[in-house]
Amino acid sequence: MKIICIGQNYRKHNQELGNEDPLLPVVFLKPDSSLLRKNSPFYIPDFSREIHFETELVVRIDRLGKNISPKFAHRYYSEIGLGIDFTARDLQRSLRAEGKPWEIAKSFDNSAVVGKFLPVARFKDVQSIEFSLKKNGEIVQTGSAEDMIFSIADLISYISGFFTLKTGDLIFTGTPAGVGAVAVGDHLEGFIYDERLFHLNIK
Ligand code: ZN
């Protein structure tokens, strides 16, 4: 399986990081070794002093597809969940300043937190799902799929023009504003509406 991630997909997040809104989806990959499952703890790696959480809706592909048109994209997934795209922001910043790919700042071991998935059928409209992250019991980030620059359907269509999508592939759909740093001892909990889909300790 592969993990496909979208960057800069929320206007206010782009403003907080000083990025222009992209004209096309910004796509990068994480390897399967980046997956952190089943509420396992996250250990802060020694190559970064600034690990940020990015809370994101995650779509799980359940059908083989290529060159999918946006209007048929809904046929390629039946579950949606929530995850964290952990980012070594300091590393990303220095790599970007040098014009180099920032893969290692995004795709290191355990950088892709994935929680429980919910059937899409439970939601009237996936493109209006609201989600949030609590750190130590306080809400630190909230988002709504409504605010995505490129919709889930547009993302599936765009991505599938380059990569064949396969059952089990995950798409991280980008983070809203409110990203922030984690420290040893923090406890993170991710919610879609009031339902907690993951929780983990930072070590
Ligand atoms: Zn992200």
Calpha distance 157→27 (Å, rounded): 13
| Centre of ligand 1 from the C-alpha of residue 175, in Å | 5
Three-state DSSP class for residue 129: coil
- Over the stretch 3-52, which tens digit does the pLDDT of each residue have? 999 999 999 999 999 999 999 999 999 999 999 988 899 999 999 999 99
| In contact, 82 and 186? CB cutoff 8 Å | no
Where in the chain does DSSP place strands (E)?
3-7, 26-30, 35-36, 51-53, 55-61, 77-85, 87-88, 112-119, 130-135, 138-144, 170-172, 180-181, 187-192, 195-201
C-alpha to C-alpha distances, 84 to 2, 162, 180, nearest whole angstrom: 16, 24, 12
| Centre of ligand 1 from the C-alpha of residue 54, in Å | 5
Q: What percent of the chain has pLDDT over 90?
A: 98
| Centre of ligand 1 from the C-alpha of residue 93, in Å | 14
Sign of the dihedral through C-alpha 158, 160, 162, 166: positive
| Centre of ligand 1 from the C-alpha of residue 49, in Å | 18
| Centre of ligand 1 from the C-alpha of residue 87, in Å | 8
| Cα dihedral 139/141/144/148 (nearest 10) | 180
pTM of the predicted model as reported, rounded to 2 decimal places: 0.97
Nearest Cα residue to 28 out of 111, 98, 90: 111
- Over the stretch 49-90, which tens digit does the pLDDT of each residue have? 999 999 999 999 999 999 999 999 999 999 999 999 999 999
| Centre of ligand 1 from the C-alpha of residue 143, in Å | 13
| Centre of ligand 1 from the C-alpha of residue 65, in Å | 23
| Centre of ligand 1 from the C-alpha of residue 72, in Å | 25
Q: Average pLDDT for residues 131-147, to the nearest whole number?
A: 98
The CATH number of the domain holding residue 163 is 3.90.850.10
| Centre of ligand 1 from the C-alpha of residue 98, in Å | 20
Domain count, the chain: 1
Calpha distance 36→170 (Å, rounded): 13
Cite the DSSP H helix spans in 28-151.
89-97, 103-106
- Over the stretch 72-81, which tens digit does the pLDDT of each residue have? 999 999 999 9
Six token digits for residue 194: 């009031």
- Give the phi and the psi of residue 149 in degrees, each rounded to 5: -70, -45
Six token digits for residue 74: 């809904």
Write down the residue that tokens 């609201």 correspond to.
130
Q: What range does the domain containing 110 cover?
A: 3-201
| Centre of ligand 1 from the C-alpha of residue 75, in Å | 24
